[in-house]
Amino acid sequence: MSLLQKASFPSPASIVPNAEGLAKISFIGTRAFLLEAPGPFDLPNQRRIWALSRALEAHEQVAEIVPGMTNLLVILKETPDDPDTVIHQLQEKWQRAQGIDLAGRHIEIAVTYGGEHATDLPALCELSGLSDREVVRIHHEGTYRVFALGSAPGFGYLHGLDPRIHMPRKTVPSLKMARGCVTIGGMQTGVAVLTGPNGWNSIGFAEVQMFDPLAAAPAVMAPGDTVRFRPERIEL
C-alpha cells in the first residue's frame, strides 16, 4: 500500500508513544518521519529496525531511509497530503516487522588503554567506583555489535557496553579530541573518526583510520558487524 495513499486505520489519537508495542513517530520537516522503537535499547529492537528499513527501502514513495540506534528516519519524495495516514501505515509496518539479523564481519581493534589520550579514565573510575585496570578489563572483554553509523562519516555506534562502565556524555565537550580515541558515551562505546569537539569520554587510543573516502569500502564498520577491542598496550 502506498505511504501517500488514504487508508483505513484507527484514529490518530490511538497512536501514542506510551501505548504498549507502539513506536513513537515524529515529524521531521514536511517529508520526513522519525520512528523510534518502544522499550529497551537492545538488539531485538534494532533487528526490527533493520527489518523495517529493508521493507521500506524499495518503496516507490520513499526517497531515503536512515537507520539509527533503535530508530529509523523515513524521508519521502513528496510532502504527503495526509501525514496522519503515513503515520498509521508506518505504525502498522512496525507492528508487523519481524526482526532480521545482518551478516556482518568480525572486527578486532588494537587499543592503547590509558596514556595521554585517556583523558576521561580517572572520571570514569570515580563514577563507577572501579580501578582503572578494572575499567580497562571490562571494556576489552566485551563483545560489541554495530547498530548504526552516524554522527560523523564511518562512526559506528556500538552496543554491548557493560553497565558497570556506562558514563554520561559530557555537558561541555572536549574541544579537540583526537581521531582514534576509544570512547564511551552513555551506554555505548565507539572510536572517534575525526579530530575535533567530542562529548564522549576517552579511555584509550586506536591507531586505525575508521573512514577513508578514497577506499573501495570507505567505512571500516557497517551495521551488523561484531567488534572486539584488543589491549595492545596498557599505560596506567
Chain center to CA of 109: 19
DSSP result, 92-147: HHHHHPPP------EEEEEEEEESTT-TTHHHHHHHHT--HHHHHHHHHH--EEEE
User: Would you say residue 12 has pLDDT above 90?
Assistant: no
pTM: 0.84
pLDDT digits (tens, 9 = 90+) for 133-188: 999 999 999 999 999 998 899 999 999 999 999 999 999 999 999 999 999 999 99
Q: Is there a contact between 222 and 149 (Cβ–Cβ < 8 Å)?
A: yes
pLDDT at 17 (0 to 100): 43
Q: What are the strands of the beta sheet with 32-36, ordered from one edge? A: 24-28, 32-36, 71-76, 62-67
Strand (E) or helix (H) holding 176: strand 174-177
Which residues, in sequence order, are CB contacts of 197 under 8 Å at separation 6+?
173, 174, 175, 176, 177
As a whole number, mean pLDDT of residues 124-135 equals 98
As a whole number, mean pLDDT of residues 118-127 equals 98
Q: What percentage of the chain carries pLDDT values higher than 90?
A: 82
**What's the one-letter identity of residue 77?**
K
pLDDT digits (tens, 9 = 90+) for 47-80: 999 999 999 988 899 999 999 999 999 999 999 9
**What's the one-letter identity of residue 35?**
L
Strand (E) or helix (H) holding 27: strand 24-28
Set out the domains of the chain in order of their start, with CATH numbers. 12-96 (3.30.1360.40), 106-235 (2.40.100.10)
Q: Is there a contact between 39 and 19 (Cβ–Cβ < 8 Å)?
A: no
